[in-house]
Amino acid sequence: MSNKERIAGDNTQFEELFKQSFQDYFESLHRYAYTIIKNNEQAEDIVQAVFIKWWEKKNDLNISRSVKSYLFTAVYNQSLNYLRNTKNRKTNNVDFSMNQFDKAEQVQSDIGYYKEMKTKLKEASEELPPQCKLIFLKSRFEEKKYAEIAIEFNLSIKTVEAQIGKAFKILRSKLLNNQKIEILILILYFFI
Protein backbone atom coordinates (compact mmCIF):
# COMPACT_ATOMS: atom_id res chain seq x y z
CA MET A 1 0.00 0.00 0.00
CA SER A 2 1.44 3.38 -0.99
CA ASN A 3 1.67 6.36 1.39
CA LYS A 4 -0.96 8.17 -0.63
CA GLU A 5 -3.36 5.31 -0.16
CA ARG A 6 -2.54 4.98 3.54
CA ILE A 7 -3.09 8.71 4.15
CA ALA A 8 -6.36 8.69 2.28
CA GLY A 9 -7.55 5.74 4.37
CA ASP A 10 -9.36 5.86 7.68
CA ASN A 11 -8.19 7.73 10.78
CA THR A 12 -6.64 4.68 12.39
CA GLN A 13 -4.33 4.16 9.44
CA PHE A 14 -3.41 7.86 9.44
CA GLU A 15 -2.70 7.81 13.18
CA GLU A 16 -0.37 4.82 12.73
CA LEU A 17 1.44 6.53 9.86
CA PHE A 18 1.66 9.77 11.84
CA LYS A 19 3.10 8.07 14.96
CA GLN A 20 5.56 6.06 12.93
CA SER A 21 6.67 9.14 10.95
CA PHE A 22 7.09 11.13 14.15
CA GLN A 23 9.27 8.38 15.66
CA ASP A 24 11.26 7.80 12.47
CA TYR A 25 11.88 11.38 11.34
CA PHE A 26 11.61 13.78 14.28
CA GLU A 27 15.32 13.73 15.19
CA SER A 28 16.56 14.00 11.61
CA LEU A 29 14.04 16.80 10.88
CA HIS A 30 15.20 18.59 14.03
CA ARG A 31 18.85 18.36 12.94
CA TYR A 32 17.88 19.55 9.46
CA ALA A 33 16.00 22.58 10.82
CA TYR A 34 18.92 23.35 13.12
CA THR A 35 21.34 23.43 10.17
CA ILE A 36 19.15 26.12 8.60
CA ILE A 37 18.28 28.35 11.54
CA LYS A 38 21.08 27.62 14.06
CA ASN A 39 18.73 27.67 17.05
CA ASN A 40 18.10 24.36 18.82
CA GLU A 41 14.85 25.23 20.60
CA GLN A 42 13.37 27.00 17.61
CA ALA A 43 14.34 24.08 15.35
CA GLU A 44 12.39 21.77 17.64
CA ASP A 45 9.42 24.13 17.59
CA ILE A 46 9.50 24.22 13.81
CA VAL A 47 9.42 20.42 13.53
CA GLN A 48 6.59 20.23 16.03
CA ALA A 49 4.68 22.88 14.11
CA VAL A 50 5.09 20.89 10.89
CA PHE A 51 3.69 17.77 12.55
CA ILE A 52 0.83 19.72 14.10
CA LYS A 53 -0.04 21.28 10.75
CA TRP A 54 0.10 17.85 9.10
CA TRP A 55 -2.26 16.47 11.78
CA GLU A 56 -4.67 19.40 11.44
CA LYS A 57 -4.80 19.10 7.64
CA LYS A 58 -4.82 15.31 7.48
CA ASN A 59 -8.09 15.24 5.54
CA ASP A 60 -7.09 17.97 3.11
CA LEU A 61 -3.52 16.98 2.28
CA ASN A 62 -2.71 15.06 -0.84
CA ILE A 63 0.88 13.90 -0.50
CA SER A 64 1.97 12.65 -3.89
CA ARG A 65 5.53 11.77 -2.89
CA SER A 66 6.91 10.06 0.18
CA VAL A 67 5.96 11.25 3.65
CA LYS A 68 9.65 11.72 4.43
CA SER A 69 10.06 14.02 1.42
CA TYR A 70 6.92 15.95 2.37
CA LEU A 71 8.10 16.44 5.96
CA PHE A 72 11.60 17.59 4.99
CA THR A 73 10.16 20.04 2.45
CA ALA A 74 7.71 21.37 5.05
CA VAL A 75 10.49 21.80 7.64
CA TYR A 76 12.65 23.55 5.05
CA ASN A 77 9.86 25.99 4.15
CA GLN A 78 8.93 26.57 7.80
CA SER A 79 12.60 27.25 8.63
CA LEU A 80 12.90 29.78 5.81
CA ASN A 81 9.69 31.47 6.98
CA TYR A 82 11.12 31.67 10.48
CA LEU A 83 14.35 33.26 9.20
CA ARG A 84 12.45 35.73 7.03
CA ASN A 85 10.12 36.70 9.88
CA THR A 86 13.01 37.05 12.31
CA LYS A 87 14.91 39.24 9.87
CA ASN A 88 11.81 41.39 9.23
CA ARG A 89 11.17 41.72 12.96
CA LYS A 90 14.77 42.83 13.58
CA THR A 91 14.63 45.27 10.68
CA ASN A 92 11.28 46.63 11.82
CA ASN A 93 12.53 46.98 15.39
CA VAL A 94 15.60 48.89 14.23
CA ASP A 95 13.48 51.05 11.91
CA PHE A 96 10.95 51.58 14.69
CA SER A 97 13.67 52.49 17.19
CA MET A 98 15.32 54.93 14.79
CA ASN A 99 11.95 56.36 13.82
CA GLN A 100 10.98 56.76 17.49
CA PHE A 101 14.36 58.39 18.19
CA ASP A 102 13.85 60.81 15.31
CA LYS A 103 10.31 61.57 16.46
CA ALA A 104 11.44 62.07 20.06
CA GLU A 105 14.21 64.36 18.90
CA GLN A 106 11.73 66.33 16.77
CA VAL A 107 9.24 66.55 19.64
CA GLN A 108 11.98 67.80 21.96
CA SER A 109 12.96 70.37 19.36
CA ASP A 110 9.33 71.41 18.85
CA ILE A 111 8.75 71.66 22.61
CA GLY A 112 11.86 73.81 22.98
CA TYR A 113 10.77 76.03 20.12
CA TYR A 114 7.22 76.25 21.47
CA LYS A 115 8.48 77.19 24.96
CA GLU A 116 10.79 79.81 23.49
CA MET A 117 7.99 81.31 21.41
CA LYS A 118 5.56 81.24 24.33
CA THR A 119 8.14 83.06 26.46
CA LYS A 120 8.60 85.68 23.74
CA LEU A 121 4.84 86.02 23.45
CA LYS A 122 4.50 86.55 27.20
CA GLU A 123 7.33 89.09 27.17
CA ALA A 124 5.71 90.94 24.29
CA SER A 125 2.33 90.82 26.05
CA GLU A 126 3.90 92.62 29.05
CA GLU A 127 4.28 95.66 26.81
CA LEU A 128 0.56 95.84 25.99
CA PRO A 129 -1.54 98.69 27.41
CA PRO A 130 -2.76 97.71 30.94
CA GLN A 131 -6.43 96.90 30.24
CA CYS A 132 -5.59 95.27 26.91
CA LYS A 133 -2.92 93.17 28.64
CA LEU A 134 -5.27 91.99 31.42
CA ILE A 135 -7.99 91.01 28.97
CA PHE A 136 -5.51 89.24 26.68
CA LEU A 137 -3.93 87.27 29.54
CA LYS A 138 -7.33 86.24 30.92
CA SER A 139 -8.40 85.10 27.47
CA ARG A 140 -5.28 83.26 26.33
CA PHE A 141 -3.49 82.08 29.45
CA GLU A 142 -6.42 81.60 31.84
CA GLU A 143 -8.62 80.41 28.95
CA LYS A 144 -11.59 82.48 30.02
CA LYS A 145 -14.43 83.12 27.59
CA TYR A 146 -15.13 86.65 26.35
CA ALA A 147 -18.43 86.73 28.29
CA GLU A 148 -16.65 85.81 31.55
CA ILE A 149 -14.07 88.54 31.02
CA ALA A 150 -16.80 91.06 30.18
CA ILE A 151 -18.60 90.29 33.45
CA GLU A 152 -15.36 90.40 35.49
CA PHE A 153 -14.33 93.83 34.16
CA ASN A 154 -17.89 95.17 33.78
CA LEU A 155 -17.42 95.59 30.00
CA SER A 156 -19.41 94.66 26.95
CA ILE A 157 -18.44 91.55 24.99
CA LYS A 158 -17.74 93.83 21.97
CA THR A 159 -15.20 95.79 24.06
CA VAL A 160 -13.47 92.55 25.11
CA GLU A 161 -13.34 91.42 21.46
CA ALA A 162 -11.91 94.80 20.44
CA GLN A 163 -9.24 94.61 23.16
CA ILE A 164 -8.24 91.07 22.11
CA GLY A 165 -8.04 92.24 18.49
CA LYS A 166 -5.90 95.19 19.56
CA ALA A 167 -3.61 92.86 21.54
CA PHE A 168 -3.10 90.58 18.54
CA LYS A 169 -2.37 93.52 16.28
CA ILE A 170 0.28 94.88 18.67
CA LEU A 171 1.81 91.43 19.27
CA ARG A 172 1.99 90.67 15.56
CA SER A 173 3.79 93.90 14.84
CA LYS A 174 6.23 93.44 17.77
CA LEU A 175 6.98 89.79 17.10
CA LEU A 176 7.11 90.00 13.32
CA ASN A 177 9.62 92.82 13.46
CA ASN A 178 11.97 90.59 15.45
CA GLN A 179 11.20 87.06 14.29
CA LYS A 180 10.18 84.92 11.35
CA ILE A 181 6.65 84.42 10.07
CA GLU A 182 6.59 81.15 12.04
CA ILE A 183 5.86 83.12 15.21
CA LEU A 184 2.71 84.51 13.68
CA ILE A 185 1.66 81.02 12.73
CA LEU A 186 2.44 79.85 16.26
CA ILE A 187 0.40 82.67 17.77
CA LEU A 188 -2.50 82.02 15.46
CA TYR A 189 -2.35 78.25 15.97
CA PHE A 190 -1.94 78.07 19.75
CA PHE A 191 -3.66 81.20 20.94
CA ILE A 192 -6.60 81.86 18.66
Element (H, E) at 22: helix 11-37
Residue 101, class by beta-carbon neighbours within 10 Å (0-12 exposed, 13-18 middle, 19+ buried)?
A: exposed
| Selection from 21, 82, 80 nearest residue 52 by Cα | 21
Q: What is the Cα Rg of the chain in Å?
A: 36
Please report the pLDDT score of residue 142 as a whole number. 80
Class assignment of domain 126-191? mainly alpha
% pLDDT > 70, the chain: 68
Please report the pLDDT score of residue 114 as a whole number. 65
Please report the pLDDT score of residue 192 as a whole number. 45
Please report the pLDDT score of residue 91 as a whole number. 57
CB-based contacts of 32, cutoff 8 Å, min separation 6 = 72, 75, 76
Residue-wise pLDDT for 68-97, tens only, equals 888 888 899 888 888 888 776 655 555 554
From first to last of its 192 residues, the chain has per-residue pLDDT tens of 444 444 444 678 878 888 888 888 889 898 988 988 888 888 888 888 888 888 888 777 666 678 888 888 889 988 888 888 877 665 555 555 455 555 555 555 656 666 777 777 777 778 889 898 888 888 877 888 889 999 999 999 899 889 888 887 887 777 665 555 455 555 544 444
CATH 1.10.1740 is held by the domain 3-93 = yes
Spell out the domain ranges in the chain. 3-93, 126-191
Please report the pLDDT score of residue 50 as a whole number. 87
Please report the pLDDT score of residue 112 as a whole number. 66
